[in-house]
Structure 1
Amino acid sequence: MGKDSKPKEAKGKGKQAGGGSDETASKGKGKAGKSADGLGTCTYVKARHVLCEKQGKINEAYKKLQDGWLNNGDKVPPAEFAKIAAEYSECPSGKKGGDLGWFPRGKMAGPFQEVAFNTPVGATSAPFKSTHGYHIILCEGRKN
């Protein structure tokens, strides 16, 4: 599926020539280089998301997360986030609790990738817009 050998080989070559690939990434991710916590420097992220076409609907989902967890300073547990995703998300992944699994840099477009790779593990992003609609992301892990 997303882990076919042909795409991996093409991407693997870019990673092996890491100097050029990393330099390009660091130029495009200047802000990420500032943090000492490793945000923005990993190669893979594991995430869940909620996707809505309308801003009002994503705001409603985010309010539920705020009322239940975020306003108390707590991190949203993946199981609770999954319930919100199943209820609100208009993405097919909503049926799986918004689970996107592990994905590499370069797989997701623009703002989605930027938010996913810069959200701390266990944290939930604020709602944001991409070309596909409005999202909320829960970062569940990161690795190189």
Structure 2
Amino acid sequence: MQTTVKVNGQVISREAIQFELERLVRFYAEHGMSQEEIREQLPDLVKKATDQAIGAKLLMDEAARLDLQVTDEDLDGEVAKIVDQVGGEEAFQRALQQQNTSVKVFREQLKRGRRVDKLIEQLVADIADPTDAEVEIYFNEHKDEFTKGERVLAQHILISPDGDTQVSKDEARAKIAAIRERVLAGKDFADEAAAHSMCPSGKEGGSLGWFSRGMMVPEFDEAAFSMKVGDVSDIIETQFGYHIIYKTDHEPAGEADLSQASDKIRDLLRHARRGERVGALVSELRDKAKIEFV
């Protein structure tokens, strides 16, 4: 049974906890944690996401108590950014309909979020950025973490069977085989991916970006790393269906390099320092709040 979390009598929605979990997963993935490591640590990440959702609620309530001002012009600018990000006004309106909400409600939610942003901006305004010396010290103490692993850049096309029957599997395999023949005959891989791939990456021409060993399922991983750059793979069967891969680049493993790692380290240190300051405020607010797990 899932636990319901209440802060001062108000329920924290499961959507809020899921949102925090997805943010955590993205952050750790962007900073080098493999998908396998993320899966292993998922229970701890869920607990951390729950704590962060509680903290977000406490910060939202504190920002409201302080009545931090968010102007209509500020909101207009934020809405304009979001409209642009989702692909225009029509796409924005569709997204609101899918979420069963209105522009008025959306702007009110956005206003609460901007109040929290302003609270945090005030809280961390006097925190200095990490110096070059501090970045170098961190790098030297954690050099193994920044050793560059072997990576592949590739595109793929996925065709999934529409059922568990052999007929469905045969049809899916025949479809991916026909696509592969067209690619080998000169058709553009990205165009074929956009037209036929059943993976969300199809919208991006099948691009998977750079990935390291262990980030993909084993059958896919083995094929991608053993191929030559510029080759199109044979048909690969995985739990998701049938794939073909077009390998566009390959980087071997290498020694850690401070110049390449410095931005990531600076971001980590900056995030840690600001997190400590925000965490101290959340702890103070949490001590005063009534937190229930029911």
The verdict on a shared fold, with TM-score over 0.5 as the criterion, is yes
Q: Is the 8 A contact 1:51 1:58 kept in 2?
A: no
The structure with higher relative contact order (CA 8 Å, sep 6+) is: 1
Corresponding residue of 1:22: none
Task: Looking at secondary structure, tell me which structure has more helix per residue.
Answer: 2
Distance 1:60 1:3, change over 3 A: same
Residue of 53, 61, 65 corresponding to 2:180: 65
**Structure 2: how far apart are the matches of 1:69 and 1:99?**
15
**Structure 2: how far apart are the matches of 1:85 and 1:6?**
28
Distance 1:65 1:6, change over 3 A: closer
For structure 2, which runs of at least 5 residues remain unmatched after alignment?
Answer: 1-25, 38-142, 162-168, 253-294
- Counterparts of 1:14-93 in structure 2, within 5 Å, are 43-54=150-161, 55=169, 56-66=171-181, 68=182, 70=184, 80-93=188-201
Does 2:212 match 1:100?
no
For structure 1, which runs of at least 5 residues remain unmatched after alignment?
Answer: 17-41
Corresponding residue of 2:219: 111
Shift of 1:70: 2.6
Larger Rg: 2
One-letter amino acid of the counterpart of residue 229, structure 2: V
Overall identity of the aligned pairs, in %? 33
Corresponding residue of 2:133: none
The total of aligned residue pairs comes to 111
**Structure 2: how far apart are the matches of 1:90 and 1:123?**
21
Corresponding residue of 2:237: 129
**Structure 1: how far apart are the matches of 2:250 and 2:209?**
11
Q: Is the 8 A contact 1:58 1:136 kept in 2?
A: no
Please give the secondary structure, in 1, of the residue aligned with 2:216: coil
Shift of 1:126: 1.3
Corresponding residue of 1:4: 30
Task: Looking at secondary structure, tell me which structure has more strand per residue.
Answer: 1
Q: CA RMSD in A?
A: 2.9
When the two structures are superposed, what TM-score results if normalisation uses the length of structure 1?
Answer: 0.64
Shift of 1:57: 3.3
One-letter amino acid of the counterpart of residue 57, structure 1: A
When the two structures are superposed, what TM-score results if normalisation uses the length of structure 2?
Answer: 0.33
